[in-house]
Chain A
Amino acid sequence: MKIDPSFIWTALVQLLSAIPTTLVITAVSVTAGFVIGLITALLRIYKVPVLGQIATGYVTFIRGTPMLTHLLLIYFGLPMLLDALSAQFGWGFKSSSIPMIGFAFISFSITAGAYMAEVIRSGLLAVNRGQLEAAYSVGMTTPQALRRIVFPQALAVSLPNLSNSVIGMLHGSTLAFTVSVVEINAKAQIVASTNWKFFEAYLAAAVIFWGLTLLIERITAVIEKRINLYNRGGVA
């Protein structure tokens, strides 16, 4: 068996068409995950009764189980739940009308939410309490203080870890192929299935993922430079 370098290129070109799917899955899971993570982190930090405990349970369960398991649980569990509810309340809704990618969106958002909750929580905890007190002392309400003073600083602190989460979700999006979503990895398999040149196809996929990862790192570096302007003279 010999490597066919030209097929790497052929595969690469064909894989390009799957990039949008991968990016959409990543973008949706990261965006929804950020919102879920922020809410979860706040519930835990403020020790909100009941909801705070639920948030903690959610984080430990999700982080304690594989991302593939989340996807499978959602894929098999959600339709059962929805169909049961639908029958109960006569919604006339069938779970089979959910597109496959929808399961990936939902499950990966849940995964990302738990990981990002921890990142955001540690970012929030890293902001000196004096900052919040200063905000109160100038008369801000808690939401104003969080939005204007605490969040921007927490975001700056969390940026490297958030970037890691984004990269993690990008790579994790390959799992979507188990529910028949054709993202980059699944596309590589399809491309190679005609001539069995799997190595070349997956190598091409690797190159694309690497490129996308470098891109995310570049973007992070640019944002970091901009928002960390105020930290000049800090340790970093």
Chain B
Amino acid sequence: MSIALRAQALLGIALAVAAGGAIAKGELTGDPKAGEAVYARCFACHALTYNRTGPKHCGLLGRRAGSVPGFQYSVAMKRANWIWDKKMLDRFLANPMKVVPGTTMGYAGVKDRKERADLIAYLEQAGKSDVCREH
């Protein structure tokens, strides 16, 4: 194989891998009902409407990371300069301690993509529900 051909083959593989990656990362539509059950895993530390060991989750989508008044965040989370949207939540919840090194959320995360999508769909729906209206 000539160098040019080899390069082309490699490029082809690289593109295929990239495309595969893109598909793998494509958004899943979550089922909020299934997500509610996944959310029970967070109950040791979180509630929708009030701060506990972790901050409350009402208002999560669309709020800046580390910004609930009166909650004592880690320096790492306070420094995180993003707004929580579905994509950032998906990244964070997959591996919290890797995405925010130094976070005080000592939890391995939700490794299953579908469960994560369901969970995020639930958080989104709950945020718009009556429960969260005044929180």
A and B co-occur in one complex: no
A contact set with B: CB distance below 8 Å? none
